[in-house]
Amino acid sequence: MNKRQKERLERLMPNGIPKYIRVYDNGGKTIDQYTVVYTGNYRKPIDNGREKSWFQHVGMSECPFHPQGFGVHGESPKQIDVNKWGFTPAMGRRCHLGKRIPFIDLPSDCQKLVLQDYRSIWNLPDPLESLISKLHPSRFSAMSNKMAGIVGCILGQKWVTPAFNDIVVTSDKFVLAQVEGDCGHNHFLGAASDLARNWNTLLAAADLCPDERRLAYKLFSQKLPSAIGS
């Protein structure tokens, strides 16, 4: 991700929060308890060259990805949360969709769905691309070459020479690495508990958005499942 892309990502998702949305909670009166209205100038030209005039929104239950959950997208020629004068509720106020709430008050799965939509609407980089950018050693002056090698291995990157090809946790909870050219895991990296703590500290310092953080934990658990809870 280049500098221009980073600036655009930070402008559209400051601190990892989608900027151009409005979120509503009707308190569970209907199955689509949560409604998110996508705002901003995201409309795209259609075949005849005119701008598409329909706005997008999504209604969700608490678990929109669950087989018994609910998550339905819709479009409308007007934003569905404006009143007859064209105004929308302030944060904490109500309209027919419910009470307007911050994005961070949405349930985790609802946040995940909205972030997927938002990245698609604005053509933003996928979480892995932005995660690689945010965890790059150039952003952390105190990051050691060893830690850079570990992070790079987890993310599938080669940031040090020689790079770590693989990392494993032994039965007694120590971490060993294999580097390019080795036939085994011959490099001792320390205790799994220290690695898990350093990883969490790094994520906290990286200002990750929810989908980046979820991906970071998923990649760590896939690469080093034995280190979880160490």
pLDDT digit of tens for each residue in the chain (230 aa)? Answer: 667 877 888 899 988 899 999 999 999 999 999 999 999 887 655 555 555 568 899 999 999 999 999 999 999 988 999 998 989 999 999 999 999 999 999 999 999 999 999 999 998 888 898 899 889 999 999 899 999 999 999 999 999 888 999 999 998 999 999 988 788 888 899 999 999 999 999 999 998 888 888 899 999 999 888 766 55
Domain ranges of the chain: 17-121, 127-227
Residue of 197, 192, 226, 213 lying closest to 135 (CA atoms): 213
Question: Rounded to two decimals, what is the model's pTM?
Answer: 0.70
Helix, strand counts (H, E) of the chain: 6, 9
CB neighbour list of residue 118: distance below 8 Å, 6 or more residues apart: 12, 13, 18, 20, 21, 38, 124
The pLDDT score that the predictor gives to residue 3 is 75
Whole-number pLDDT of residue 43: 63
CA 109 from centroid of its chain's CA atoms = 11
